Every structure is written in structure tokens, then in C-alpha cells.
């Protein structure tokens, strides 16, 4: 039978065995999904507004503004009045292609003279380290600057949240999207799930090592000093040898 000092050394040197259950995997994936959404939301609410550029699109049919608020990026596109009577003006995919082809030259775009009707699209994407959500909204402005000015709105998969970094009263509200961009959503979820798993295993390993040094059962903390059997008499956990 080993004396107490030798037994403690054997316990300390024994490897910590970690079992992976489906429940643990599911919990880490759920935590990854929640973290992905929380990063997009809180990363915008506590972010800083940064202007990235403004300029005319490559095709010359729209004007764009590009900004970032924390982990959320915004593209604003002013659709020319000449296109408002066509299907293109109502097609977000077409307008998004205009955004992707835009050349930002830091010049402030000016509307054409005499324009009294215009539509402003705002495309929003959020997430870190990859963009995981998307959404958009538009405003249709009739009689721009006139006595009968009227603004219509339409929003897709976006919510308005206050920017809390400088205080709500100073900053107004910003859009945060919630429709998944699946490649980025899945990638972020897996990354955060792995981080949660590493945190969990790290805590379990630290707890097991601490109990081992004290001569306790790694599962239930039962005092095993002086016990020669191969299992814990309290919970049945096998003792490392």
C-alpha cells in the first residue's frame, strides 16, 4: 500500500480523462448560436460609427455610402428617379449588385437637379469574425423637399437598436439584421462553440487537477486518502493509477 505522499504524486501525475457527450456538444452549439447573435447585436449597440467611403457606382446608375457601426456594415444606395418606374428599383438583389460594383472615392454624392422622387436603400450586414446576418430597408420619398413630401418605408430582417456607446439621446438608432448569411453564420457558430468547449474543458481540467492534488475524487470530491480500492466508494468513479 502506498503512503500518502506517494499516493498524492500518483494522483497528480495521472491524466485527466474528459468524456464528450452529445448533450455537451449540443449545449456548446446552442451557446455558439447565441454568442453569434449577441456579438452582432451588442457589437453594434456598443460600436463606434466609422465612415468607410462614398462614391458613384461603377455603372453610374446609383450613389452609395459605406459605413461601419461596430461589427455592422451599412451600404446606402440612392436609386435615380429615372429607374423608379422600372422593376429594377424594387429588386434588392439588383441594387445589391450595384453596391458590390461601387467605386468609393470619398466624394459626397449629389442628387440630380430637379429630382422630387427618390428611393434610398440601406443594406445591412453584421457579425464577427465573419458576416453572419443580413437585412435591408428602403425609403421612398415623394415630393422631395416640397410641401407635400411623403416618405414610405419597407424593412426586411432588420431591427432598430440604440447606439449605446455615446448615449441614446446623442446618436439615434441603427439597424441590426437577423436573417442568416449561412456560410458566415455556420462558421461563427462553430468558432464560438469551440471556444465555449475549450472554456468548459479548461474549467473541468482545473477542477480535476485541484481535487487530485488534495486526494479527492475528481467527480464528487469525496476524500479518497487512505482508500485502496480502484473506485470511489461514493460515486463509483474509477480512480487513476
User: Do 133 and 127 touch, CB atoms closer than 8 A?
Assistant: yes
pLDDT in tens, 31-51: 999 999 999 999 999 888 888
Query: Helix 4-13 to helix 182-213 angle, to the nearest 10 degrees?
Result: 170
**For the chain, how far is it from start to end, CA to CA, in angstroms?**
13
Question: Cis bond leading into 19, ω under 30°?
Answer: no
Judge whether 226 lies within some domain: no
Judge whether 17 lies within some domain: no
Judge whether 63 lies within some domain: yes
Once rounded to an integer, what is the mean pLDDT over residues 213-241?
69
Beta pairing class for 158-162 and 133-142:
unpaired
Strand ranges (E), the chain: 49-56, 63-69, 72-79, 117-126, 133-142, 150-156, 158-162, 173-177, 179-180
Provide the number of structural domains found in the chain: 1
CA torsion angle for 77, 154, 164, 44 (degrees, to 10)? Answer: -60
| pLDDT for position 71 | 95
pLDDT in tens, 109-129: 555 566 677 888 899 999 999
Select the highest-mean-pLDDT range: 62-66, 155-159, 204-208: 155-159
Q: Which domain holds residue 63?
A: 47-180
Average pLDDT over the chain, rounded to whole? 78
d(CA 89, CA 42): 32
Judge whether 57 lies within some domain: yes
Q: State whether residue 94 is helix, strand or coil.
A: helix
The residue among 121, 51, 48, 46 whose CA lies nearest residue 83 is 121
What pTM did the predictor assign?
A: 0.73
| pLDDT for position 104 | 66
pLDDT in tens, 53-108: 777 665 556 667 889 999 999 988 887 777 777 777 788 888 888 788 777 665 55
Judge whether 6 lies within some domain: no
pLDDT at 205 over 70: no
d(CA 164, CA 172): 9
Q: What are phi and psi of 108, to 5 degrees?
A: -70, 120
| pLDDT for position 234 | 67
Judge whether 217 lies within some domain: no
Judge whether 41 lies within some domain: no
Judge whether 238 lies within some domain: no
Quickly tell me which residue has 455615446 as its cell: 166
Amino acid at each position: 500500500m502506498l503512503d500518502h505522499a506517494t499516493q498524492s504524486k500518483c494522483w497528480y501525475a495521472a491524466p485527466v480523462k474528459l468524456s464528450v457527450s452529445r448533450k455537451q456538444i449540443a449545449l456548446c452549439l446552442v451557446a455558439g448560436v447565441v454568442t453569434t447573435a449577441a456579438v452582432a447585436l451588442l457589437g453594434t449597440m456598443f460600436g463606434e460609427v466609422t465612415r468607410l467611403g462614398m462614391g458613384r457606382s461603377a455603372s453610374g446608375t446609383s450613389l452609395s455610402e459605406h459605413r461601419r457601426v461596430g461589427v455592422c456594415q451599412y451600404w446606402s444606395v440612392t436609386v435615380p428617379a429615372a429607374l423608379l418606374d422600372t422593376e429594377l428599383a424594387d429588386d434588392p438583389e439588383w441594387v445589391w449588385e450595384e453596391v458590390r460594383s461601387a467605386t468609393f472615392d470619398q466624394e459626397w454624392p449629389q442628387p440630380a437637379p430637379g429630382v422630387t422622387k427618390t428611393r434610398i436603400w440601406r443594406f445591412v450586414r453584421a457579425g464577427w469574425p465573419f458576416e453572419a446576418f443580413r437585412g435591408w430597408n428602403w425609403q421612398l420619398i415623394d415630393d422631395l423637399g416640397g410641401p407635400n413630401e411623403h416618405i414610405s418605408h419597407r424593412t426586411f430582417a432588420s431591427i432598430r437598436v440604440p447606439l449605446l456607446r455615446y448615449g441614446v439621446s446623442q446618436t439615434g438608432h441603427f439597424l441590426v439584421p437577423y436573417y442568416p448569411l449561412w456560410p458566415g453564420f455556420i462558421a461563427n457558430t462553430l468558432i464560438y462553440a469551440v471556444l465555449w468547449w475549450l472554456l468548459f474543458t479548461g474549467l473541468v481540467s482545473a477542477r480535476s487537477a485541484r481535487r487530485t492534488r488534495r486526494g479527492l475524487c475528481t467527480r464528487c470530491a469525496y476524500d479518497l486518502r487512505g482508500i485502496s480500492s480502484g473506485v470511489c466508494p461514493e460515486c463509483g468513479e474509477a480512480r487513476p493509477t
